Amino acid sequence: RRRLVVVANANANANDARGGGRRETLVALASSLSLAVCAPFVRARDGGGGTARAGVSIEDDSAVRRAIRDALTANVIKTKCPAVLRLVFHDAGTYLESAGDGGMNASVTYELNRPESFGLKRGLSVVKSAYEALQGTAAEGKVSFADMIACAGAYAVEFTGGPTFLERVPLGRADASTADPENRMPEQTLGGREMREHFARSGVSTRDMVALAGAHTIGGKGFGDAYTFDNAYYATLVADPWNKPNMTKDEAEMAEHIGLPSDKYMREDEENMKWITKYASDQDAFYADFVDAYLRLTSLGARFVF
């Protein structure tokens, strides 16, 4: 068998992160992300249907999957699910189709000092704990940190009442050893069409973009219950609470706390609204499209090693 070694991430800025007065986003990852992935392993792309990877028996692959689920169950709490899912989008969101780089590769561990990464350490600490829990299990040395981020996001969706697809997340991503290029994440002030154009440059369709935006249904943005993964995001966009006629001052102020600017602008694009209205009235369709979009997003740009 061909044996490959994926070296664990270590943050070169860890010493600076321990210094007093640093911004919250600078985290000492040299110690906290000693990922212990220096063991050799054999990889092949998993199509997501439970097929074992090259050199790994069906029984071994099932044991790896069980170990991942057990580690996530023991370490992920519901109130951290929004932060975990946000971490996924920040890691995968750096992919640029024309450049052929970025994507789901755990490079986010090197990008914590960027303005858009503020607060990511909350989700990162959860994934780190779950990853460390793989030591001594069938998954030790067979799952990269990028894999674990992708799996943690899927588990967060399931844990908050969304679709179950953790076992469909492909394994075998290589971890990056440096940060991905800067200025790849979308600005929160982009209009609906601008948002579509941004994601198109990453190879993400309008349908996938709108489906993935539904992840905003969890968290503190005012789209229904903060810890229930449902289609409340789309129902809110259709209701358009920001532009109700004859609003009082208090109602207008409350509306301003719902969502990000990009959420408000999302509904102003006709192509986006086609999917928004569909998902607002059909939660099952949202679930199905979200899963498909998530699996594609977390594979874009990823280097699967064999």
Give domain limits for the chain. Answer: 4-183, 192-292
Residue 49, pLDDT > 80, answer no
Do the beta carbons of residue 263 and residue 216 sit within 8 Å? yes
For this structure, is 90 an active site residue?
yes
Query: Which residues sit opposite 4 in a β-bridge?
Result: 41
Which pair of tokens denotes residue 98? 């024309």
CATH fourth-level superfamily of 192-292: Peroxidase, domain 2 (1.10.420.10)
Q: Which of 90, 198, 216, 257 is catalytic?
A: 90
Of 19-23, 128-132, 294-298, least confident by mean pLDDT is 19-23
Q: Give the pLDDT score at 221.
A: 82
For residue 113, the tally of other CB atoms under 10 A from its CB is 17
Please report the DSSP string for 48-94 in residue order. SSSPPPTT--HHHHHHHHHHHHHHHHHH--GGGHHHHHHHHHHHHTT
- Residue 235's nearest CA partner among 222, 219, 247, 248 is 222
Q: Give the pLDDT score at 112.
A: 97
For residue 254, the tally of other CB atoms under 10 A from its CB is 13
Of 5-14, 117-126, 199-208, least confident by mean pLDDT is 5-14
Q: Give the pLDDT score at 70.
A: 99
243: number of CA atoms within 13 Å, CB side? Answer: 8
pLDDT interval class at 15 (50, 70, 90): very low
* CA 282 – CA 10 distance, rounded (Å): 44
Average pLDDT of the segment spanning 20-42 = 34
The domain made up of 4-183 has a fold known as Peroxidase; domain 1 (1.10.520)
Is the whole model's pTM more than 0.85, yes or no?
no
